[in-house]
Amino acid sequence: MALNPCQPLSGDGLTEMARVNRLDAARMFMSAGNGHFGSCYSCTEIITALYFSIMRIDAANPDWPDRDRFIMGKGHAAPTLYSALIRRGFMPEEWMDQYEKAVGVRLMTHPSRRYQPGVDVSQGSLGHGLSIGVGMALAGKLDWRNYNVYVLMGDGETNEGSVWEAAASASKFGLRNLVGIIDSNGLCVDGNLADVMPMEPMAAKWQAFGWDVSRLDGHDLPALLSALAPDRESTTGKPRMIIADTIKGKGVSFMENVRSWHADSISAEQYSRLVAELEERVA
Amino acid sequence: MSRPRMKTSAMIASIAAEGQRTVSAPFGHTLVRLAADRPEIVGMTADLGKYTDLHVFSAVYPDRFYQMGMAEQLLFGAAAGMAREGFMPFATTYAVFASRRAYDFIYMAIAEDQLNVKIVCALPGLTTGYGPSHQATEDLAIFRGVPNLTIVDPCDALEIEQATEAITEHAGPVYMRLLRGNVPLVLDEYSYKFELGKAKLIRDGSDVVFISSGLMTMRTLEAAEFLKADHIDAGVLHVSTIKPLDEVALLAEIRKPGRLIVIVENHNLIGGLGEAVMASSMRNGVMGRIRHIGLPDAFLDAGALPTLHDRYGISTNCLVSQVKAWL
Amino acid sequence: MPHTQRSNLVPEISELRRRATNIREFALRMGAVQGQGYIGQALGIADVLAVAYFGSMRYRSQEPKWEGRDRFLLSIGHYAIALYGALIEANFIPHEELETYGSDNSRLPMSGMAHYTPGMEITGGSLGHGLPIAVGMCLGLKRKKSNAFVYTLLSDGELNEGATWEAALSGAHWKLNNLIAIVDVNNQQADGPSSQILGFEPLMDKWRAFGWWVERVDGNEIESVFAAFEKARELEVPQPRIIICDTLMGKGVSFLEKREKLHFIRVEQHEWNEALNALRAEVTV
């Protein structure tokens, strides 16, 4: 199958692309010697659904004014984004093998608009993404443009007060063109989110802040497509929040829900096992 | 055949060179020791306990550890509240988040009423390859402007141990830059003893004197050895308390004639140790042949730390060649 | 009269009303001293303060740092004029000092400063600090096995601040049942009505979703306010408590109540006396 699709994918095509995305991310981590495996693998389906089906973007025209925007609030999961951008044709495949290799390479730990065509916003400090998204969505309304702004956040990230400032603001401005997605994998640096700073009941909080909320399995591609479908004709005027229940490290048996894979180095032997598992899925 | 497991992580980069002696988590272990006799000590963090060596403390004293979630303004506000109730909170996060996200809370909720909060932050200056979001290149510039705040930038594992103890004995807010994980041990060879507010002449020199702080003192000591092989006699004045500055010791060294003074810091050229020293020197009418090495006023690159230190001129090799060029 | 024992001290509502009137009067007199002040807010919140200081909290006015005291945190530093009224009425501050409000070397600066004034627990000015500090205090009090409560007065505008929600999450997570937050909803901020600046309704839903026990009352209805404070204190749920009080700026002086609603209500020089007269007249009616 073509690895640089321009037509939206669905069904098997999307599933295959998610698999490719995981392999790409692992390839980048191998190149660097380490990475945020867990964080990348929990949002693979979300990114795949956005970049290969939902978002209106043009690789030949990364600054196309009417493009849908994407903000990777959880910047440390950058390789998942890089793979999608590469496979969509925004960046060349060779850059993958340079990931974090040396100073001056194009792909590093956090996304950077300066160096990476297709990246809308540089990220790294958690809690900024939604605020920036509010600004972009406001601009879209002011300019009478029809684009959507998608912001992917980590569940731990929603501890940050700045997220709630943005939440209140999005509701006040009636930003229907703003879609937030929370990669709810239940884990953060210091442990289970429930022990560190629990966010449940999550849906009730976002609803109280004036958002339309849906909750789904973040690895269920058809469900994601349905929830993320553009709603350009809606009149409710409410921003949308999709709470995606995910598994940190999903897709690789020895990484799933293991906290230390938030960020870790990988041995050659582990890499082989990972590749073998992912390739087995083709059958 | 299997390749060796690669260890370098852009984030958890160790400052230690190959074969250098290190101590594991000196801050965490020292805090545990101090907490035994000081029931008022509590540990607090904003989801970075693991990366600020506070996890060592929380493992031993889980009931004295407060995980505040990823919320830095809350962390320092709550630390102020605990201090008002008579506790001595050690509140940890990364230097970038304390100095940028939570500055107003540190300034008003903690420093304004001189509360006994110890703000201990990892990743000072350029100690990670993660990019500007994690590189606290201007933390000293920001915090130097806070009245009542004592600022400490320790050099190595030994000094971290000693400084942690000293700041518990100091009544009032403190900001301490932290090296974490496997921290090099260097100052034991110089029989070093930390004193809050005091600069220390670790070695004297007749051609050059380095004025350095934090991990840069490890580098200047190394550089002094390299220069010695080239018959250049270099000294090192270690300034681990940035605020209040030990002007007496600094001016005494600057005053001595015939030497090149080189200020070296792991911080932006703007607003850190260098400008503090030079301002003091001018204010007191003490002139010297002064040069300044530090990070440029720029958003720094991401990448591997050794490369970045070379690129920005703060590696030992850079210090050596720069000094030779100036002499 | 020191309020160290609460058990026999169920106050008469008429007594609370009297205290509220005194607080209003002190605030107006302080405003007159400087010719300006956040008088609209002070008049609006006087009933809440009367209930807090004379129907709820435990303290010793001659020993403002008594360890067993309930702490009252004024997160909204610019409401100092109102709190001073309560502190004067409660004998933390002598009546005579009222004349020094806002002057040089005064113990009564226009924005609340902890180390200036007996009974002022924190330094305000920068909004959004009170609740985070309160969380820390409550944690500390629990460590010390103290029975003291921490009351924190917030404005509706402060709910814009992210730090407030960080503290909200934290308060619920740590089950801080010794924390009583009070929000003054007067629908006014520096740049206009709060509902237009950053619409914060539905307020009760938000706090419930964040795990707090919530009650909402008319903040100028002393019986309701008193009942809410009682419940907040007695309730045995492992949750922090919040009382949302809808208040009217300028309450108690009808020409100020009717004045164009502004964050900083303008009062002309000659109007201060008129306001005092109106206050006393309206009370006797």
Q: What is the CATH number of the domain that holds A113?
A: 3.40.50.970
Look at residue A5 and tell me if it is in a domain: no
Distance (Å, whole) CA A188 – CA A200: 15
Same-domain pairing of B204 and B176: no
What is the tens place of the pLDDT at every residue in A224-279? 999 999 876 677 789 999 999 999 999 999 999 888 888 888 888 888 999 999 98
Tell me which chain A residue has its CA closest to the CA of residue B4: A267
Q: What pLDDT, on the 0 to 100 scale, is given for residue A34?
A: 80
Average pLDDT, chain A: 89
Residue of B40, B72, B165, B189 marked catalytic:
B72
Same-domain pairing of B212 and B125: no
CATH of the domain at B221: 3.40.50.920
CB contact set of C24 (below 8 Å; sequence gap of 6+): C42, C43, C46, C85, C252, C253, C279
Q: Do B113 and C115 touch (CB under 8 A)?
A: yes
Q: What pLDDT, on the 0 to 100 scale, is given for residue B210?
A: 98
Look at residue B1 and tell me if it is in a domain: no
Number of neighbours of residue C261 by Cβ within 10 angstroms: 16
The total number of structural domains that make up chain B: 2
Element housing A182 (H / E): strand A178-184
> Distance from C116 to chain B by nearest Cα, in Å?
10
Look at residue A4 and tell me if it is in a domain: no
Q: Do A33 and B69 touch (CB under 8 A)?
A: no
Same-domain pairing of B157 and B88: yes
Number of neighbours of residue C90 by Cβ within 10 angstroms: 22
B165 is catalytic: no
Q: Do B133 and A161 touch (CB under 8 A)?
A: no
Q: Which of A157, A159, A163, A205 to mutate to test the interface with C (most CBs of C within 10 A)?
A: A205
Look at residue B222 and tell me if it is in a domain: yes
Q: Do B73 and C173 touch (CB under 8 A)?
A: no
Chains A and C: how many Cβ contacts under 8 Å?
Answer: 47
Distance (Å, whole) CA A44 – CA A81: 9
Residues of chain C with C-beta less than 8 angstroms from the C-beta of A160: 162, 166
> Distance from C160 to chain A by nearest Cα, in Å?
6
Same-domain pairing of B223 and B134: no
Look at residue B289 and tell me if it is in a domain: yes
Look at residue B99 and tell me if it is in a domain: yes
Interface of C with B (CB under 8 A): 114-115, 121-123, 125-126, 128-129, 131-141, 143-144, 162-163, 166-167, 169-170, 173
C227: its two tokens? 């009942």
Look at residue B42 and tell me if it is in a domain: yes
The structure's pTM equals: 0.88
Q: What pLDDT, on the 0 to 100 scale, is given for residue C57?
A: 98
DSSP B166-189: HHHHS-S-EEEEE--SEEE--GGG
Average pLDDT, chain B: 93
Lowest-pLDDT choice from A89-98, A186-195, B68-77, C276-285: C276-285
Name the residue with higher pLDDT: B28 or A9: B28
Q: Do C134 and B104 touch (CB under 8 A)?
A: no
Same-domain pairing of B143 and B208: no
- Nearest Cβ partner for C170 among B68, B109, B113: B68
pLDDT over 70, % of chain B: 96
Last residue of a domain, one of B184, B207, B229: B184
- Nearest Cβ partner for C169 among A165, A171, A197: A197
Look at residue B4 and tell me if it is in a domain: no
Look at residue A88 and tell me if it is in a domain: yes
Q: Does B11 touch chain A (CB under 8 A)?
A: yes
Taking only residues 72 to 91 of chain C, the set having a beta carbon closer than 8 angstroms to any beta carbon of chain A reads none
- Token look-up 């229907």 returns A176
Q: Does B302 touch chain A (CB under 8 A)?
A: yes
Q: Do B70 and A124 touch (CB under 8 A)?
A: no
Domain housing B168: 21-184
Chains that touch A (3 or more CB pairs under 8 A): B, C
Q: Which of C159, C165, C216 to mutate to test the interface with A (most CBs of A within 10 A)?
A: C165
Residues of chain A with C-beta less than 8 angstroms from the C-beta of C208: 204, 208
Same-domain pairing of B226 and B283: yes
Distance (Å, whole) CA A46 – CA A25: 15
Tell me which chain A residue has its CA closest to the CA of residue B311: A103
Q: Do C170 and B74 touch (CB under 8 A)?
A: yes
φ/ψ bin of C128: left (φ > 0), alpha (ψ from -120 to 50), beta (otherwise):
left
Last residue of a domain, one of B133, B154, B184: B184
Same-domain pairing of B291 and B320: yes
Distance (Å, whole) CA C67 – CA B27: 32
Same-domain pairing of B175 and B207: no
Residues of chain C with C-beta less than 8 angstroms from the C-beta of B112: 123
- Token look-up 């020293």 returns B277
Residue A87 C-beta-side C-alpha neighbours within 13 Å: 31
Residue type (1 letter), C108: L
> Distance from A204 to chain C by nearest Cα, in Å?
5
CATH of the domain at B122: 3.40.50.970
Q: What pLDDT, on the 0 to 100 scale, is given for residue C34?
A: 86
Tell me which chain A residue has its CA closest to the CA of residue C161: A165
Q: How far is CA C3 from CA A70, C35, C56, C240, in A?
A: 58, 33, 9, 24
Look at residue A170 and tell me if it is in a domain: yes
> Distance from C212 to chain B by nearest Cα, in Å?
17
Same-domain pairing of B155 and B229: no
Q: Do C160 and A165 touch (CB under 8 A)?
A: yes
The total number of structural domains that make up chain A: 1
Identify the bridge partners of residue B151 per DSSP, sorted by sequence position. B175, B243
Q: Which of B84, B87, B107 to mutate to test the interface with C (most CBs of C within 10 A)?
A: B84
Last residue of a domain, one of B152, B184, B216: B184
Q: Which residues of chain C register pLDDT less than 70? A: 1-10, 188-192, 196-199, 261-263, 284-285
Tell me which chain C residue has its CA closest to the CA of residue B104: C126
Look at residue A8 and tell me if it is in a domain: no
Q: What pLDDT, on the 0 to 100 scale, is given for residue A4?
A: 54
pLDDT over 90, % of chain B: 87
Tell me which chain C residue has its CA closest to the CA of residue A171: C199
Q: Do B304 and A102 touch (CB under 8 A)?
A: yes
Look at residue A223 and tell me if it is in a domain: yes
Q: Do C163 and B77 touch (CB under 8 A)?
A: yes
Q: What pLDDT, on the 0 to 100 scale, is given for residue C261?
A: 67
Name the residue with higher pLDDT: B245 or B305: B245
What is the tens place of the pLDDT at every residue in B283-292? 999 989 999 9
Q: Closest Cα to residue B261, out of B220, B221, B292, B218? A: B292
Q: How confident is the model at residue B296 (pLDDT cuts 50, 70, 90)?
A: very high
Look at residue A92 and tell me if it is in a domain: yes
B99: its two tokens? 């100095």
DSSP chain C: --B---TT----HHHHHHHHHHHHHHHHHHHHHHT---HHHHHHHHHHHHHHHHHT--B-TTSTT-TTSPEEEES-GGGHHHHHHHHHHTTSS-GGGGGGTTSTT-S--SS--TTTSTT--S--SSTT-HHHHHHHHHHHHHHTT----EEEEEESGGGGSHHHHHHHHHHHHTT-TTEEEEEEE---BTTB-HHHHH----HHHHHHHTT-EEEEEETT-HHHHHHHHHHHHH---SS-EEEEEE--TTTT-HHHHSS---SS----TTHHHHHHHHHHHHHH-
- Nearest Cβ partner for A209 among C161, C173, C206: C206
pLDDT reading at A56 higher than 60: yes
Same-domain pairing of B74 and B100: yes
Peptide bond into C2 cis (omega under 30): no
pLDDT reading at A143 higher than 80: yes
> Distance from B295 to chain A by nearest Cα, in Å?
16
Task: Taking residues B107-134, report their average pLDDT.
Answer: 93
Q: Do A197 and C170 touch (CB under 8 A)?
A: yes
Domain housing A47: 13-280
- Nearest Cβ partner for C140 among B69, B85, B104: B85
Q: What pLDDT, on the 0 to 100 scale, is given for residue C7?
A: 42
- Nearest Cβ partner for C133 among B71, B78, B87: B78
Q: What pLDDT, on the 0 to 100 scale, is given for residue A282?
A: 55
pLDDT reading at A3 higher than 70: no
Tell me which chain C residue has its CA closest to the CA of residue B73: C163
Across B141-163, b (16+ Cβ under 10 Å) vs e yields bbbbebeebbbbbbbbbbbbbbb
Q: What pLDDT, on the 0 to 100 scale, is given for residue C197?
A: 67
Look at residue A2 and tell me if it is in a domain: no
Look at residue B9 and tell me if it is in a domain: no
What is the tens place of the pLDDT at every residue in C186-215? 876 666 677 766 668 899 999 999 999 999
- Nearest Cβ partner for B70 among A156, A265, A267: A156
**Phi (first) and psi of residue C232, to 5 degrees:** -60, -35
Residues of chain B with C-beta less than 8 angstroms from the C-beta of C131: 77
- Nearest Cβ partner for B77 among C114, C132, C144: C132
- Nearest Cβ partner for C198 among A162, A169, A205: A169
Same-domain pairing of B125 and B210: no
Q: Do C136 and B81 touch (CB under 8 A)?
A: yes
Same-domain pairing of B161 and B234: no
